[in-house]
Amino acid sequence: MAAFVDRVTLDVTAGNGGHGCVSIKREKFKPLGGPDGAAGGNGGNVFLRVDPQVTTLLDFHHLPHRKAANGEPGKGDLRPGKQGEDLILGVPAGTVVKTKDGDIIADLVKVGDEYRAAVGGLGGLGNAAIASDKRKAPGFALLGTPGTSQEVVLELKSVADIALVGFPSAGKSSLIAAVSAARPKIADYPFTTLVPNLGVVMAGEIRFTVADVPGLIPGASEGKGLGHEFLRHVERCAAIVHVLDCGSLESDRDPIGDLETIEAELAAYEADSTFAGTDGNIIPLTERPKLVALNKVDMPDGADMAEFVRPELEKRGYRVFEISALARNGLRDLTFAMAELVEKARSERVEESPVVEVPMLRQRTGKKTEFVIRREEVSNEPLWRVIGEKPERWIVQTDFRNDEAVGYLADRLAKLGVENQLFRAGAKPGDAVVIGSEENSVVFDWEPTMAAGAELLGSRRGEDIRLEDRNRKTREQKRAEHEDRRAAKAEARAELEAERRAGIWTESVHAKNAERAAKDRAAEKED
């Protein structure tokens, strides 16, 4: 089972927002108490935060899928839903957050640094919040929005001032154990060190950290051996110490050749852009300050080998120290030389001044565009896509099983200006309109006949009379019927006027009066 993991793929999902509540207050002697449905709680966020107690990414290796808590739905009597708890994931100092494509999102170095990897969904409003003077008792509530999800890559890059590099069994672990309180596993066979070890060193009043990087071999930058997996732990170091084995029993190796091989591997490794200086330039690993420690000079042939290669190393510009990590010889001079490099690097480090935002007293920019409309072609038919944060969120919050909620959505879109923009863009009745992205969208046939103001229609809760007739007539059809009715009324009026002018109405009245008079005379004779 793996004990040290410095690179994992993590899938995080925030909590969903709780749905709003539909409720009407009912009390004795108060039959019309009004709406009292409360809003749902927001979903929990997912944070990555540096924890000093965490030194590896092993937990994420075993559990790569993490999800925050959902918000609870709202309740009646104006009781809001409980907020979903945030999920805080502890990561080691020096964790770099990347996308799957390798783009750096965040660099978490200091204790307390955090990155919000997933945002919780919003809780839906209850019908009490939607009610107005004209919409007294809404029969619907808004749904909670889902939380965001993201797949990120976490890479651990040790936060150390000095990096010890060298071939396997060169004595790096023995050196870090001799100058610090670290106790790494030490043996006389290659690849004893399987994980980077950190140690704290005190040289006078200067305190710094040293990283023991697992041994490098030719081809490490291309993935051979263990070096490729741990070269990233050298990137943050201000200086590098080459630990060269002067007591090697291999006839085909010597300190000069080992140094050239390690330098070639460092040159072949490309550092991330996140470790650029304040001027934006990345310092390659080969250009960082270096020291050379000739180790194992206590062995019979070690001192002779060190004396033989020292002039050549000094000729190349290296500061050379003859040490014995096992016998603890020459360590004081080496640690103080490392402290000098660390102190120099810290003094050259420029702290960026905090950016102070000047408050804007008056906003002079134009009205913010809430959405855009894009025309597309599908099967030679026009399709209009509405893209915007508000329309897309409203679509998710709408319960399409409730006609009143659909009518409320139509009112909101009309108030936002979606219908007017569709007219200006050239949309025609019956065209397909899509709101939202490809992953989460709603498609409907556009019929610009739905007037706003559902609260004025007098429909029952949960219903909208504008949606009862799904086969509504278009404006052109209604205009044609109106013209036909006007023509029929004009024709009827012309016919009546012609009859009046011909005297038909007058003769009919005289005839009726004469018939009534005759009946009256006949009745008198009978009496």
Q: Which pLDDT tens digit goes with each residue over 447-456?
A: 765 554 555 4
Is 169 within any annotated ligand binding site?
yes
Q: Cα–Cα distance between 61 and 49 in angstroms, integer?
A: 17
pLDDT score, position 48: 94
* DSSP 3-state of 244: strand
pLDDT score, position 3: 55
pLDDT score, position 101: 87
Q: Cα–Cα distance between 422 and 362 in angstroms, integer?
A: 32
Is 140 within any annotated ligand binding site?
no
Residue 124: name the closest of 74, 67, 69, 70 by CA: 74
Is 86 within any annotated ligand binding site?
no
Is 214 within any annotated ligand binding site?
yes
Rounded to an integer, the average pLDDT of 51-63 is: 87
Is 190 within any annotated ligand binding site?
no
- Asked if pLDDT for residue 184 goes beyond 80, the answer is no
pLDDT score, position 221: 44
Are the CB atoms for 239 and 288 separated by under 8 Å?
yes
Is 451 within any annotated ligand binding site?
no
Confidence at 278, pLDDT banded by 50, 70, 90: very low
Token code pair at residue 164: 């010890």
Is 248 within any annotated ligand binding site?
no
pLDDT score, position 165: 84
Confidence at 226, pLDDT banded by 50, 70, 90: very low
Task: Provide the phi-psi class of 335: left if phi over 0, else alpha when psi is between -120 and 50, else beta.
Answer: alpha
Highest-confidence segment of 64-78, 215-229, 262-276, 423-437: 64-78
Is 179 within any annotated ligand binding site?
no
| Percent of the chain with pLDDT strictly greater than 70 | 77
Q: Residue 504: CB partners within 8 Å, gap ≥ 6?
A: none
Q: Cα–Cα distance between 55 and 95 in angstroms, integer?
A: 10
Is 448 within any annotated ligand binding site?
no
Of residues 220 and 404, more confidently modeled: 404
Rounded to an integer, the average pLDDT of 77-101 is: 91
Is 142 within any annotated ligand binding site?
no
Looking at 149-163, 419-433, 436-450, which range is the least confident one?
436-450
Is 192 within any annotated ligand binding site?
yes
Are the CB atoms for 12 and 61 separated by under 8 Å?
no
Confidence at 349, pLDDT banded by 50, 70, 90: low
Looking at 390-394, 433-437, 499-503, which range is the least confident one?
499-503
Q: Cα–Cα distance between 173 and 398 in angstroms, integer?
A: 62
For residue 290, the one-letter residue type is K
Looking at 140-144, 367-371, 409-413, 469-473, which range is the least confident one?
469-473
Is 167 within any annotated ligand binding site?
yes
pLDDT score, position 187: 43
Q: Residue 147: CB partners within 8 Å, gap ≥ 6?
A: 13, 14, 15, 16, 17, 43, 44, 68, 70, 118, 119, 120, 121
- Asked if pLDDT for residue 79 goes beyond 80, the answer is yes
Is 225 within any annotated ligand binding site?
no
pLDDT score, position 223: 46
Rounded to an integer, the average pLDDT of 460-487 is: 70
Is 295 within any annotated ligand binding site?
yes
pLDDT in tens, 19-43: 999 998 888 777 777 899 999 999 9
* DSSP 3-state of 67: strand
Is 168 within any annotated ligand binding site?
yes
pLDDT in tens, 365-414: 555 667 888 888 877 788 888 888 888 899 889 988 888 888 888 888 88
pLDDT score, position 368: 64
Q: Please, which residues bridge with residue 162 across strands?
A: 210, 239
Per-residue H/E/C for 329-390: ECHHHHHHHHHHHHHHHHHHCCCCCCCCCCCCCCCCCCCCCCCEEEEEEECCEEEEEEECHH
Residue 336: name the closest of 165, 197, 162, 160 by CA: 162
Q: Cα–Cα distance between 220 and 242 in angstroms, integer?
A: 16
- Asked if pLDDT for residue 444 goes beyond 90, the answer is no
| Sheet containing 65-67: order of strands | 65-67, 7-13, 149-156, 95-98, 104-108
Is 368 within any annotated ligand binding site?
no
Rounded to an integer, the average pLDDT of 488-499 is: 82
- Asked if pLDDT for residue 279 goes beyond 60, the answer is no
Is 325 within any annotated ligand binding site?
yes
- Asked if pLDDT for residue 82 goes beyond 90, the answer is yes
Q: Cα–Cα distance between 445 and 428 in angstroms, integer?
A: 10
In 103-148, where do the E strands start and end? 104-108, 114-118
Q: Cα–Cα distance between 228 and 304 in angstroms, integer?
A: 33
pLDDT score, position 423: 83
CA dihedral (135, 140, 144, 145) positive or negative = negative
pLDDT score, position 124: 94
Is 527 within any annotated ligand binding site?
no
Phi and psi for 249 in degrees, rounded to 5? -90, -5
pLDDT score, position 1: 39
Residue 85: name the closest of 51, 60, 120, 115 by CA: 120
Rounded to an integer, the average pLDDT of 72-100 is: 92
Confidence at 50, pLDDT banded by 50, 70, 90: very high
Is 212 within any annotated ligand binding site?
yes
Is 227 within any annotated ligand binding site?
no
- Asked if pLDDT for residue 238 goes beyond 70, the answer is yes
Are the CB atoms for 62 and 24 separated by under 8 Å?
no
Are the CB atoms for 19 and 122 separated by under 8 Å?
no
pLDDT score, position 271: 62
Is 309 within any annotated ligand binding site?
no
pLDDT score, position 299: 82
Is 297 within any annotated ligand binding site?
yes
- Asked if pLDDT for residue 229 goes beyond 60, the answer is no
